[in-house]
Amino acid sequence: MVHGPWSIDSTKMTITLENIGRRFNREWIFRGVNHTFTSGKIYAILGPNGSGKSTLLQVLNGSLGPSVGKIAYSFNGKPVDAENVYQHLSLAAPYLELIEEFTLNEMIDFHFKFKAYKPGIDKDMIIDLLALPGSKNKMIRYFSSGMKQRLKLALAFCADTPMLMLDEPTSNLDSQGVDWYLNLVQKFAQNRLTIICSNQEHEYNFSDEQLNIVDYKKDSSKA
């Protein structure tokens, strides 16, 4: 059954990297990345802090172009231009800011002006998922760092997009929050193309494939 334009139950997304590399000034962050990412699998991009995981994720989501190599996207077998990839993507990352002047109600409404709700989900269900029924009209600026992170994750998981990208998903979460995140993965990551950037094993130990960014730093000093 088709649920809206980007139903994750009936669509297939593919990202193909061919000899991808990225450098800043003369320094290569990574190079020689060849990989295909497809719907129905969870991928983990691993590496220590500052190694380039987030940079690779930005290349994958089309917000940053590669310095060398080719990247191709397809949706149900049809090519997708890099500038349109955002339409098929949900992203949660530490460097993405919530609008602090919005209330919780307003933030959810604003987000879902640009994304469709996952089938069976609505605003009230997201508020219940966050366990914040009394905070509908509370401004985001008064949320704790942990609650802000939960909100970022809930917005990403509950949008009906074929791709889900998560950068350090349990940052600012306590042990109960980690369990909450793992429950979201079980409920809402199925059939999607999911990519997780992490150096915390509990964030990705269920992944199907892992790429270590360190493996793509060989000969990085050469121009």
In a domain, residue 202? The reply is yes
Enclosing domain of residue 26:
13-216
- How many CB atoms lie under 10 A from the CB of residue 135? 17
CATH number at residue 46: 3.40.50.300
Number of domains in the chain: 1
Are residues 160 and 87 in contact, defined by beta-carbon separation less than 8 angstroms?
no
In a domain, residue 223? The reply is no
In a domain, residue 194? The reply is yes
- How many CB atoms lie under 10 A from the CB of residue 101? 10
In a domain, residue 3? The reply is no
- Per-residue pLDDT of 160-193, as tens digits, reads 999 999 999 999 999 999 999 999 999 999 899 9
- Per-residue pLDDT of 33-86, as tens digits, reads 999 999 999 999 999 998 999 999 999 999 999 999 999 999 999 999 989 999
In a domain, residue 95? The reply is yes
